Structure 1
């Protein structure tokens, strides 16, 4: 294994106030998950493991919250220690990669591009940290009284992730005496050379509540909205169970199809997939493949939502119109809406609007021979600041 990505999320949030900031929601995700999803984008660059360092005793309570990440990469959770240095050491014990990137969960906007620069520099120099020049005028204060200005020439701000050989940085932190603000300080104190690459102003640290508000403003300015349209039609036939929106409806006729014929789920799934720029369900779940025969269309919809999530989109609203003469469906709207809501918005708010229109006794729908459905889905990004970052568009 080449690289492990250690996310230090074991702080108690004293300066932030309230609950630990790493669990505060930023957009639709807790703060720590932003860094984990950046690590996922680095799998092709050799990142094969995430080590998440959490407050002691919280490992089991976070199992459910880490499930979606764990299904895509090796993720290990370990308890933090009394000091940051102790937390990092615990994370390094669990890291299996030859090299490691150590990252502060309070920096949610770390970009894949920055991480790739660090990887490249660390391979060449043995270590690498992101640095930015100090641009503000500096002052020194003694007991709250400003007594002098501080020259900023030669001063650099250090960010994370910081990249090192795993075993070597473990020995440095274990054996080098002193208290260190970050791993780079310990590395320098041990007499080793430190490689570096230019940092990223967007990779700022959330320390105070005002920083979280700034992060939310960045998200609002970088969100992307897309709308997708879906349509489906199925013939009504005897001897088939009628399923609509995952609800089994007692009726002598059902919707014929390779799956369970649930045209409401089909139309919504196509709307979701279309908005995310993905192929339609006919391409992804072809009738030519026997393994999809009789598949629950609610599962197809669930998979479509998951695929959109993989592309960085979440469903915020769905509007669907079902055109059916028989049976009368309005009384079943709430049950159908609940089924759809549970799939579309499993862990976030959203709205499902359903309308049932008769065929007015015209055409195949009006004659009770078929049903039609139209659906519109609105998708939004969970907040991807790299959409507005001029140097990171390739990672958006």
Structure 2
């Protein structure tokens, strides 16, 4: 069977007031990042997904931009503005989708796993539609006013989750015919006569609804998050020249740095730190100095490649720290410009990038003003 071209449509246009905290729940912080950031990153971590689109409330564009600012994956499309109901929001999102199939997912389910998405995609090879669900295992009782009245059978009962997966043309037609705000897209599909299969999900794929769900999600993320730290170190000696380039910033000086590329010793360390966190070698393996095409090359080429590899592996770079070691030139006046340069290249927030300088108290080659050394550290996170 031919490959399925599937997009994920993330619905995040709700107000989420039951979760408290002032902001809509999808923009509240979870492990230091907005919930929606985790949800989008989790969906993009699956290489089989062709594109990810998010439906947002028209008033939330600034919140959305802040939530996804560190995500550089080109598969993330422009957001779609939702409507006055969930059904209308989904309908608008579907109108923007492309390809043959679509997986509709809640923005407040940040713990979806690639294996669950794969199970849905596999079912779509044979079935018209499918959704994740978990069987009801607890005893069920009907009651009111705090009093139990009668037990209810749990046989055949499932708790629906998302994503819910469909042929794009089918679910578009179902939403076009729908005139009600139904519970979910499975109900919309069934009302239109589309058969829907159940794929068993996991209890960890929770939807954040109440304030207490944030602490539960954090505990669950402790079991699923992949947090990595990489280090880089580099040295370049002084030679002839009238400037040095550090973290992409040209600093006038009476010497230059010697190297095969532009000798940006600071940016080289951060590139190595990212490759190190990924356990994918170092800058010399990716861009060998023996290759003439890299002669005099701008080092942002190398850093962009490291960021690209992190994204392809499903990681988000959450922090960069660079220490420049030299007696001269003076680094302090240029650190803000360096941070801004790195933010522009990596897409990381400025307050997650640190650049600082120190000396060796006139000891060693740096103390003798023979060159510049640098240390770099990168933190990567994947849920």
TM-score by length of 2: 0.83
Taking a change above 3 Å as real, the CA distance of residues 352 and 223 of structure 1, as seen in their structure-2 partners, is farther
CA shift for structure 1 position 86: 1.6
1:172-224: per-residue Cα shift (whole Å, max 9, x none)? 33335655211212333444432111111111111111112211222344444
Alignment partner of 2:102 out of 100, 103, 123: 100
The match for 2:24 is 20
8 Å Cα contact 2:37-2:67 kept in structure 1: no
Residue-by-residue CA offset, 1:63-120 (whole Å, 9 max, x unaligned) = 6765765751262422212221121111222222222211111111111211111122
Closer, same or farther: CA 120–316 of 1 in aligned 2, 3 Å: same
Matches within 5 A, 1:35-184: 35-43=39-47, 45=48, 47-58=49-60, 62=64, 72-73=74-75, 75-175=77-177, 179-184=181-186
Displacement after TM superposition at 1:314 (Å) = 2.4
Q: State the Cα RMSD in Å.
A: 3.3
1 CA distance for matches of 2:377 and 2:26? 31
Report SS of the residue matched to 1:357.
Answer: coil
Relative to 1, partners in 2 of residues 1:60 and 1:250: Cα closer, same or farther, differing over 3 Å?
closer
Query: Residue 124 of structure 2: SS of its match in structure 1?
Result: helix
Provide, for residues 143-172 of structure 1, a one-character-per-residue CA deviation record: whole Å limited to 9, x for no partner. Answer: 454433333232211111111122222333
Q: Which residue of 2 aligns with 1:278?
A: 280
Specify the SS of the correspondent of 1:196.
strand
2:106·2:163 contact (CA, 8 Å) conserved in 1? yes
Deviations 1:35-90 (A, max 9, x none): 333333344x3x32333211135458746765765751262422212221121111
Q: 1:304 and 1:319 mapped to 2: Cα distance?
A: 16
Quick check: 1:339 aligned with 2:343?
no
Q: Is the 8 A contact 1:223 1:380 kept in 2?
A: no
Matched residue, 2:12: 9
- CA distance in 2 between partners of 1:69 and 1:313 (Å): 7
- Greater alpha carbon shift after TM alignment, 228-237 vs 96-105: 228-237
Instruction: Look up the match of 2:352.
Output: 349
SS of structure 2 residue aligned to 1:123: coil
Distance 1:205 1:96, change over 3 A: same
Q: Are the aligned partners of 1:301 and 1:343 in contact in 2 as well (CA < 8 Å)? A: no
Unaligned runs of 5+ in 1: 385-396
Cα 1:174–1:268 change in 2 (3 A) is: closer
Equivalent of 1:207 in 199, 209, 231: 209
Partner SS for 1:257? coil
Shift of 1:348: 5.1
Residue in structure 2 matched with residue 30 of structure 1 by the alignment: 34
**Taking structure 1 as reference, are residues 155 and 316 closer, same or farther at Cα in structure 2, changes over 3 Å only?**
same
Flag the 1:54–1:319 CA change in 2: closer, same or farther, 3 A: closer
Partner-residue secondary structure (3-state), 1:159: strand
